[in-house]
A and B are shown apart, each in its own frame.
Chain A
Amino acid sequence: MKRWAIVISLFIIIPAFSGCRLQNKQLKEFADEKFLMDTFVQVTVYCEDEQRGREALDKAFAEFERINNLTDRFPKDGKTIAASSDVIRINENAGIKPVQVSADTLAIIQRSLYYAQLSGGSFDITIGPIMDLWGFGKNEQRVPSDEQIKKTLSLVDYRKVIVDSENGTIYLQNPGMSLDLGGVAKGYATEKAAQILRESGIKHALINAGGNVYALGAKPDGTPWRVGVRDPRNVNGIIAVLSVIDTSVVTSGDYERYFEEGGVRYSHIIDPSTGKQARGLMQTTVIAESSTDADIINKPLFVLGRQRGTDFAKKLEGVGAIFVGEDKQVTFTGNLADRLEFTGKGDYRITEKEKK
């Protein structure tokens, strides 16, 4: 009798090992990518029906395009100011009058101001004039003088963004102020695209918008998605892998947009309190349910640095973070321990900073 038990159990084991998983046979993969929001947006969906899968993909990309058109900072060729993005119109009317905006723009700005307040201004969407001074966004980067920075910093203050949610208007109080939603728009677009996929009945999908990742559901075989975290000093390297389901993973680094002058690296991640580059960290990664939140939270973490950034992350419900310092020391919040593995590549020193 015992032997028959062995034989029968082998019949169960064989299909398990040979990779036959009957329940997924009808799920097909559909993938596409487009160059949007100054970056590559890749979307992969799994669906039984080809037409439904393709439609879902198209809708997701349309959503990225829509959010991009609302939040673009620089006018498109041949478009008048009146027909331009909400952000351009808000900036054009700084110190003049409140501007009627879409519900999406309102939501992005409100969420941004929430985190600006929570982080004591370490994240500030009124950073526009400082970004222009450094030449980011226009690709004419230069190191400005301290005097220029000091003068321009007087235009940066998130408390001077007046939101009227009842009438759906935004007003920048002082002339010369300008919004830059570069630190949140991709995350918000990712979140909206994921929502569209869900509404289209998609149960398994992966969105990657220039490193802003959202994992919808689990993989078709039921296991978590495996999201690699880039080595900040080696474009071919991965320092860690996160296993996630229905979660966003967003990474910020000093290698994304930067220039070098006199042997010094000047990245696009600027401390709103000094108008200069945040130093000390090379990379932060935030894991959160909302892609908007994950995108935003990276910036205050990078600006606050390892110690204060960790304290800030620990205060946020359901948020995990990984910090990579310029000294190649890696720390992470304790709540990630069960879904984070390090690859051991790239000569980093890994220490767990805080148990949550």
Chain B
Amino acid sequence: MKNLNHYIAAGLLLLVLFSFGVSRLVQRQMTGGDLRLEIFTSGRLYRTISLAEAGAEEIKMVNENGNYNVVEIERGKARIKEADCPNQACVKTGWISQPGQIVVCVPNKCNIIIKGKSNNVDTISY
């Protein structure tokens, strides 16, 4: 009887460790795997790209006035590489890779944003 209790206790302990491990694994997959980049032009969503699966790619966005921004995408990150806007603020922002991060080009109305879940924070104040 004494031994049986020990087995039950040990079995339950293993179950605890196992379920803890699984839930951590699921959490990690949710955070790492589903990051995606959304490209907006003049406030409208133009394209969504999964950052985990993305290969190297360049997308030239031309707005209704003929002004352009070049969006460069690599695995897990993105940036505005080139633009013909006067202040170049979008190009200077550089690479983004975390959920909630945004590159905005106000003059050309081109914006890119990373969506998805992060373990660390729910949102970023900037």
Q: Are A208 and B123 in contact (CB under 8 A)?
A: yes
Q: Does A304 contact B (CB under 8 A)?
A: no
Contact of A213 among B5, B15, B19, B123 (CB under 8 A): B123
Q: Are A227 and B125 in contact (CB under 8 A)?
A: yes
- Within residues 37 to 91 of chain B, which ones have a CB less than 8 A from any CB in chain A? 40, 43, 85-87, 89
- Within residues 1 to 45 of chain B, which ones have a CB less than 8 A from any CB in chain A? 5, 8-9, 12-13, 15-16, 19-20, 22-23, 26-27, 40, 43
Contact of B101 among A235, A241, A258 (CB under 8 A): A235
Contact of B111 among A6, A35, A211 (CB under 8 A): A35
Q: Are B5 and A19 in contact (CB under 8 A)?
A: no
Q: Are A228 and B124 in contact (CB under 8 A)?
A: yes
- Interface residues as binary, A8-26 with B (CB distance below 8 Å gives 1, 0 otherwise): 0011011001110000000
Chain A residue numbers with a CB within 8 Å of B125 are 208, 211-213, 227-230, 242, 249-251, 285
- Within residues 174 to 224 of chain A, which ones have a CB less than 8 A from any CB in chain B? 206, 208, 210-213, 215, 219
Chain A residue numbers with a CB within 8 Å of B126 are 210-211, 229-230, 251, 253, 256
A14: nearest residue on chain B (CB-CB)? B16
CA distance A18 to B109 in the complex (A): 45
B20: nearest residue on chain A (CB-CB)? A17
- How far apart are A267's CB and chain B's nearest CB, in angstroms? 11
CA distance A141 to B23 in the complex (A): 51
| A interface size (C-beta, 8 A) | 49
A3: nearest residue on chain B (CB-CB)? B5
Contact of B87 among A7, A139, A225, A241 (CB under 8 A): A139
CA distance A26 to B85 in the complex (A): 47
Chain B residue numbers with a CB within 8 Å of A66 are none
Chain B residue numbers with a CB within 8 Å of A235 are 93-96, 101, 103
**Which 4 interchain pairs have the tightest Cβ spacing?**
A228-B121, A230-B126, A211-B126, A35-B43
B residues neighboring A (CB under 8 Å): 5, 8-9, 12-13, 15-16, 19-20, 22-23, 26-27, 40, 43, 85-87, 89, 93-98, 100-104, 106-107, 109, 111, 113, 120-126
CA distance A212 to B122 in the complex (A): 13
Residue among B89, B93, B113, B126 with most chain A CB within 10 A? B126
Chain A residue numbers with a CB within 8 Å of B43 are 34-35
Q: Does A80 contact B (CB under 8 A)?
A: no
Contact of A211 among B5, B93, B124 (CB under 8 A): B124
Interface SS majority for chain A: strand
CA distance A250 to B5 in the complex (A): 56
Given A17-B20, A225-B123: A257 and B89 within 8 A (CB)? yes
Chain B residue numbers with a CB within 8 Å of A10 are 9, 12-13, 16
B87: nearest residue on chain A (CB-CB)? A259
A4: nearest residue on chain B (CB-CB)? B5
- Interface residues as binary, A126-149 with B (CB distance below 8 Å gives 1, 0 otherwise): 000000000000011100000000
Q: Does A106 contact B (CB under 8 A)?
A: no
CA distance A208 to B27 in the complex (A): 24
